Structure formats: C-alpha cells, structure tokens
Amino acid sequence: MIRVFLLAILILMSSTAYGSDYGFGTKVMSTDLDLGRPLFCTPAGTMVGFWDVGTPGYDENDPVYLHIARFCAGLIDANDIRLTGIDNHSPGSKVTFSDVDMNKPLTLLPSTINFLNIHGSQAYDLEDPVYLHQYNCEPNYMTTAMTVQGQASGQNGFALFVGGSGLVGGSRGSQRDDFKEQIPYRGGLSVPRTSCIEFTDGYKMLVTDYVVGGIPQVAGIWRGLVVEVIHGVKADYYHVLDTWYVKIDSVRTGGPCLLVDGAANSGSAISSQALLIRTNDVRLNATPSMLPGTKVVNFDPDQNKLLESPAFARFLSSGSDTARIRFFDVNGNSIYDYPDDMYLNYPSGTASGIVTVNNVRLSGPVNASPI
C-alpha cells in the first residue's frame, strides 16, 4: 500500500517536473500555465540549419532544425529541435540518440524570424503569424553554395596540386606551401561565436565562423599527404591529415551575403524585396488555415507577402541575434537539455525574459524519457 502511495507521488512529481503540454507553434495566452516562467538564453552559436536530403540544396523535403550548439557545429545533435517534421517525428520534437537524423550533416540556413502583420494594429498582435524566413543573400543562395563546393572538388578550375609539392592557387587565391603547425583543439572550452570543425583524422579546430557544410572534402595532396578542406562562410579551412598542419584561406571580402549581413548589422534598411515570404520559408505558429512546421509552397496565399522588420531573431554568418530564443529550464540544471521548453521570447516581459503573452512555443511536449 505504501509502495503504491509512493509510486503515485513519484508519478505526480515527475509529471509536474516536466515541461508544458502546449504544442509546438502555439502562442502563449493570458490564462496559460507557463505564463511568467523565467527564461534562459540559449548558448552562443545557436543556429538554424537543414539536413540536405534528396536534391542537393535547400528544398521542400529538407528537414529544418534549431541547432543549439554548445561545442561542435556541423552535425545534427541530441536535443536539437525540428522546426519541420520528418518521418514520424513532428515539428517541435527533439532529436534523440536513436533517431534517424542524429549526427547527420547540418547545413547552415541563413534565416531570420519575422512576423506577418495581417491582423489588428501595426504592432505584433496575437493573430499575426510568424515565419522562419530564408535570408535573401542574393537571388539564389543555394546556387552559390553549390558553386563553391564544385570549385573545391576540382570541377570548376580549382587545381588540386602539382607534383606533390604544394597546393596550387585556387579560385580564392591560395598560396602554395603556406601551411602552419597548429595545436589541435581538444574541447572543453566554450567560446562565444565559434564553431568546432573536425577532419576525418579527428583533428579539431575552433573557428570564428559558420561552417557551410561541415563535411571535410579531399582538396589535394601536400608532401605526399592528403589535404582536406572544410568550407566556412568567412574562410576555407585546410588540414593535412595525420599532422598538425593547417591553412586558413579567407574568402574574398565583399561577397554578397556578407555585404547584406553588414547592412542588417548596422541597422540600415533592408530592401523590401528581401522580406517577401519565399517558397520553403517555414511557418512557426498555427493559424486558422496553416499548421506550424509546414513550408510555404508555390501558390500558397502567404507566399510573397511582406514580412515586418526588424526581425525577432537572426541566424546569419555575421550579425546574428538569437537573444530572444530562450528556454525554460524544466529540470533546473542550468543547461538546455531534453526536458526544457523553448520559446520565441518576444515580447520579453523583463530584460532577462519571462514567458509572456504572444510568445511562440518552439518546442512541443516531450516524453518522460528521451528514448
């Protein structure tokens, strides 16, 4: 009898210890039970990316993730949040170790979170829908990304090596024989605005950059040893396998994406063209006609509608702002992990942030255990 009683208490405790039962993409209302919860900021480096399946480049079939990075970027990690569904995993669910997308390559999706002002006042009202919007680096961002990859793989004029003596200058102006020895990154250090990249021999580097793909590619031979490259937005990172030799080859400044980022950073006006809802933008909240976690497809009524600026959050190579992506620490361990609830904390309520009316829930209810 006592056992049954204790069990009942345990069940009661565990049910209260876990997060809200409100679904992904619901907005916080004035009578909701999670109203007023204190929120924590997500770690620096929180980003949005996609798993590039099927046709290369970002398209309708690629699942999108909120990647809550504490150390290494470039792979889908446990507790990353799916912003769109995949298989039997619904939008707002968290990645666990046994899931199909765990440790799959994550490609950065330069994007912002904005609202569409179609109801009420000019301000952000309860009925106004919220979108994850692909940032308009240029007319076709993915074409450029693929071109860069094509160049790196030698398909487009990137000479790999000559006589095993050194890398020959590629499209980004490489110098030969300019590798330097650098002690590998051994982890355990959390540095804001950095990413950890890893080559196939296990050599790690900490870089102040966003990696474009995260998958090392063979770039050539240097003194008889294989050289791999990982592409970042700011630079290409070369490493001679089984050595500590590396080379960092900066991308020419003035690329279209960096220029536009700079404009966002300095607060200057962004062209209205850049704020039109695009095909494959993601709806982040439920509306009477659309489900959260769905992508905008051609001829949807919200396609080409003008989003409001400034953005609530920006996931970009520079000028990122993820301060309003905040979590409630359900299990009280001061880090973001499986049981915690994620919010778009706009408005914020207080400077440090509490759950406030009109916040969007960015994660759904979790099971008692991650498996």
List of residues contacting Ca ion (CB under 5 A): 52, 54-55, 59, 62, 117, 120, 125, 128, 329, 331, 333, 337, 340
Q: Contact, 181 vs 240, CB < 8 A?
A: no
What's the min distance (Å) between Cβ of 122 and Ca ion? 6
Nearer CB in complex with Ca ion: 132/167: 132
Classify residue 40 as exposed, middle or buried by CB count within 10 Å of its CB (0-12, 13-18, 19+). Answer: middle
**Single-letter amino acid code for the residue at 159:** A
What's the min distance (Å) between Cβ of 56 and Ca ion? 6
What DSSP designation does 167 have? Answer: E
Residue number closest to Ca ion, CB atom: 125
What's the min distance (Å) between Cβ of 54 and Ca ion? 5
CA distance 134 to 281: 6
Task: For Cα atoms 183, 184, 188, give the angle at the middle one, nearest 5 degrees.
Answer: 120
What's the min distance (Å) between Cβ of 6 and Ca ion? 26
CA–CA distances in Å: residue 293 to residues 50, 117, 119, 334, 349: 13, 19, 21, 28, 26
What strands lie across the sheet with 47-50, from one edge to the other? 81-82, 64-67, 47-50, 107-108
What's the min distance (Å) between Cβ of 332 and Ca ion? 7
Nearer CB in complex with Ca ion: 34/337: 337
What's the min distance (Å) between Cβ of 116 and Ca ion? 9
CA distance 292 to 283: 5
Nearer CB in complex with Ca ion: 221/366: 366
What's the min distance (Å) between Cβ of 190 and Ca ion? 16
CA distance 177 to 165: 8
Nearer CB in complex with Ca ion: 280/317: 280
Q: Contact, 39 vs 323, CB < 8 A?
A: no
Q: Annotate 21-51 with DSSP letters as a single string.
A: -PPTTPBP-TT-TTTT-B-EEPPTT-EEEE-
Nearer CB in complex with Ca ion: 59/201: 59
Nearer CB in complex with Ca ion: 77/329: 329
Which pair of tokens denotes residue 29?
């209302």
Nearest Cα to Cα of residue 45 among 325, 252, 345? 325
Nearer CB in complex with Ca ion: 250/367: 367
